[in-house]
Amino acid sequence: MKKQFYNYTIEALKKDLIDNNFKAYNAEQIYKWVYENNVTDPELMTNISKDLKSFMIDNFSFDLLNLISQQTSKNGTDKFLFELHDKIVIESVLMKHDYGLSLCVTSQAGCSMGCSFCASGLINKQRDLTAAELVIQILSVQAIKKVKITHIVVMGTGEPFDNYDNVMDFVKIINYKHGLQIGSRHITISTCGIVPKIYEFANEEIKANLAISLHAPNNDLRNRLMRINRAYPINEVIQAAKDYFDQTKRRVTFEYILLKGINDEIEHANELSDLIRGINCYVNLIPYNPVNEFSFKKTDESRADRFYQQLIRRGINVTLRKEMGSDIDAACGQLRLKNHKQSLKNID
């Protein structure tokens, strides 16, 4: 069976070529052809030898993803449902911002974190995605939309730090100067709070951005919303965020989904500001995209603005993310879940 080329960091490709009696510099040549020039037919790579062309043809695959469906929101957000080689389906979301095009990529097929408001966990984790399967989400969307993606957020289905090694290889590939050339400040990795991995991430050579899904300002509420909090309580998560900044000097983002009547009261805003005061961070308030299987409701705009203004009054750097894709299956895992249900119906 051929190996998926997009699994290879530059260092891994160099090693593989050297082990097969080629030169390390050949890896740079091939990377430039594939990532800079979008050439995946080795016969067209004019500066590599005939033997290396044959080796590449015999040993490497450059397959992209099979598109099952695509939804486009009225605000231009695109959601893609892709099929992997083993028929597992995943989602990617393309978002338009003032600063460029951001792709939200999936890191696992399903999720085992069990957050009580998230559609991703309604289908149990089937497996981790490989580095290649993250890379080709970008390449597939770029090919479909004929665009250049400028920003990456690993915030789709799955917990990236539960698939740590593959996600880090993915970051190396897309950040490399002859890879997709996406700068570290344009890459954000989100975690629900796996504390040991936050410390490991702080030691990575590529200083991508860290986002922590907080969603509650205290242990009692976070225990109800996020099962991970029972393993890594909120005080440990906050301490890890402080230590991360001290080591990297990179500002931390706290993600906070607003759930009507659950975590959106003024006292929650006050408690949140007390919790994170003194950390170089900002809070990203996110409107909830309702999921039929859950009873959670979206906070209305006036209530969300009140929460936002209270954080500002208390000296917290905060953004209130504009609504993106509420007219499509925008919540993480929602389109995949719909496809899964339809598949079961067809079997019946």
Integer Cα distance of 164 and 158 in angstroms: 11
Residue 90 corresponds to which tokens in the numbers above?
Answer: 């995943």
User: Phi, psi at residue 281, to the nearest 5°?
Assistant: -155, 175
What 3-state DSSP class applies to 106? coil
Neighbours of 239 (CB within 10 A): 14
What 3-state DSSP class applies to 168? helix
Beta bridge partners of 127: 109
Integer Cα distance of 35 and 332 in angstroms: 28
CA 174 to chain centre: 13
Beta strands in 134-180 (DSSP E): 151-154
Residue 69 corresponds to which tokens in the numbers above?
Answer: 């469906």
Altogether, the residues listed in the chain come to a count of 348
| 240 contacts 195 by C-beta, under 8 angstroms | yes
Q: How far is CA 29 from CA 15, 42, 225, in A?
A: 14, 11, 49
Residue 205 corresponds to which tokens in the numbers above?
Answer: 């050579």
Q: Which of 104, 111, 118, 332 is the catalytic position? A: 332
111 tagged catalytic: no
Q: Which of 11, 91, 159, 265 is the catalytic position? A: 91
| 86 contacts 300 by C-beta, under 8 angstroms | no
The secondary structure element, H or E, covering residue 301 is helix 301-313
DSSP secondary structure of 112-124:
SS--TT-GGGGS-
104 tagged catalytic: no
| 166 contacts 202 by C-beta, under 8 angstroms | no
> What residues are labeled active site?
91, 332
